[in-house]
Amino acid sequence: MTDALIRFAPARAAAPDRLQRFVPQAGRDYAARRNYDLGRDGHTGVSTLSPYLRARLITETEVLHATLGHHSPEAAEKFIQEVFWRTYWKGWLEMRPTVWHQYKSALKRALNDVQTQAGLRDRWAAAYAGQTEIECFNAWAQELVDTGYLHNHARMWFASIWIFTLRLPWELGADFFLRHLLDGDPASNTLGWRWVAGIQTPGKTYLARTSNISKFTEGRFAPKWQLAGEAVAVPGSPVPPASALPEMRRFDPAKRTALVLHDEDMSPSYLFEAGVRPVATAILCARSHLSPLEVAPHVTAFADAALGDMTDRYASRLGSVSQTAATPDELMAWIATTGADQIITPYAPVGPVADLFGAISNMPDAPDLVQLRRPYDGAAWPHASHGFFRFKKEIPALLDHMRAKMTL
């Protein structure tokens, strides 16, 4: 078993255990220590729940309920905001899906440039291997490859150095993260890199500074004279206006139903509570489609094992179960075997699974595929139409709504 899977056991049971250990620290302790990156064995100031939230082995509402069971909203404000940042990024990208497709097109161009420009190829290879002249950058690159995780502050420093010091295309750095992070998410990752580069908030960049790195690594690193002294915004396409979220269709419980479960949401109990009773279920993992390059084995292994754990937990509700590849032809072939009148699936946010469903919808004889969105997402995502600080004003109302009405 890899170091990544030892640190982050790919099973539902590991998530609430980790949450319960962290919750007592989710208040003022978190606010005081959340920015400190003390190395791969020193991430005690943060929850390290992100791989589980990414796969929804544990849900945001579970984390928020547990936090508010120990702290007031005021005491846990910073941690609550951090949970909602992930929600905000998801909603923002749902209303601007072209940004994901722009990123994928730009990444292909950057990878083509790597093949034809020797200088770029050498700089990219050195950064990827953690063989630059910047010790902290090299350490973070190695930690990422070994463990599938980086502290959020280190991600910001790493991205800034990648873009402004090493002068590498931000899309190549975003791809490096997606191929190795256990919590690699198309929304948070893509938009976070765009923010550092000065594209997400036009003209506003993030510059890694020696003083900041030295302070928040408690002197482990102090890259004097090695970092860029300025961060000029990278050119990018204008931020597109927000479009309306797709309307959710109703499903007919009387119809013969097949279910598709995927690696974007591994807590499907809300489907069964809504009345979904499948005769057959397909399990698919699309993590290998996060990049045109090979995704790190621990990324796909984590998702595959977690999907297996989910299948075991819900076996009595799934009907006959089949594994299927995350390709349109494979999924269509499975659908044909079920005799189903409708296909139900947890809502797939922008990313590889959504790309797959989009491809299927354009095929001849496309099935009637109904995606069911979680109440939490349905309540929060519409407020991600502008910047986070406008979204943040809605958090108290969202918490009240969650506590009063939402299921896990």
Q: Is residue 13 part of a domain?
A: yes
What are the tens digits of pLDDT across the range 102-159?
999 999 999 999 999 999 999 999 999 999 999 999 999 999 999 999 999 999 999 9
Q: Is residue 56 part of a domain?
A: yes
**Are residues 109 and 192 both part of a single domain?**
yes
**Are residues 109 and 204 both part of a single domain?**
yes
Domain residues for 125? 100-216
Provide the pLDDT for residue 408: 44
Quote the CA–CA distance of 134 and 246 in Å, as a whole number: 45
**Are residues 142 and 182 both part of a single domain?**
yes
**Are residues 130 and 170 both part of a single domain?**
yes
Q: Is residue 240 part of a domain?
A: no
Distant-in-sequence, close-in-space partners of 76: CB < 8 Å, separation ≥ 6? 26, 27, 30, 67, 68, 70
> How many independent structural domains does the chain possess?
3
Query: What is residue 233's three-state secondary structure?
Result: coil
Q: Is residue 222 part of a domain?
A: no
Secondary-structure percent of the chain, ordered helix, strand, coil, rounded to 5: 55, 5, 40
Give the helix ranges, DSSP H, for 230-326.
Answer: 269-273, 297-313
Q: Is residue 174 part of a domain?
A: yes
What are the tens digits of pLDDT across the range 87-98?
999 999 999 999
Quote the CA–CA distance of 112 and 108 in Å, as a whole number: 6
**Are residues 152 and 76 both part of a single domain?**
no
Q: Is residue 400 part of a domain?
A: yes
Provide the pLDDT for residue 367: 82
pLDDT averaged over 10-residue windows placed end to end, the chain, 408 residues: 94 97 97 97 97 98 96 97 98 98 98 96 97 98 98 98 98 98 98 98 95 97 94 93 90 93 97 96 97 98 98 97 93 93 96 96 86 96 96 96 68
**Are residues 115 and 196 both part of a single domain?**
yes
Distinct helix (H) and strand (E) counts, the chain = 20, 5
How much is the pTM? Answer: 0.96
**Are residues 11 and 45 both part of a single domain?**
yes
- Single out the residue in 192, 216, 240 at which a domain terminates: 216
**Are residues 385 and 324 both part of a single domain?**
no
CATH of the domain at 51: 1.25.40
What are the tens digits of pLDDT across the range 201-250?
998 999 999 999 999 999 999 998 999 999 999 999 889 999 999 888 88
- Which pairs count as long-range contacts for 97-105, CB under 8 Å and 24+ apart, including other chains? 97/350, 97/354, 98/240, 99/190, 99/191, 99/194, 99/239, 99/240, 100/186, 100/190, 100/350, 100/351, 102/237, 103/171, 103/174, 103/190
CATH of the domain at 304: 3.40.50.620
Quote the CA–CA distance of 125 and 156 in Å, as a whole number: 20
Q: Is residue 223 part of a domain?
A: no
Provide the pLDDT for residue 405: 66
**Are residues 332 and 398 both part of a single domain?**
no
Q: Is residue 236 part of a domain?
A: no
**Are residues 85 and 128 both part of a single domain?**
no
**Are residues 90 and 109 both part of a single domain?**
no
CATH of the domain at 182: 1.10.579.10
**Are residues 158 and 68 both part of a single domain?**
no
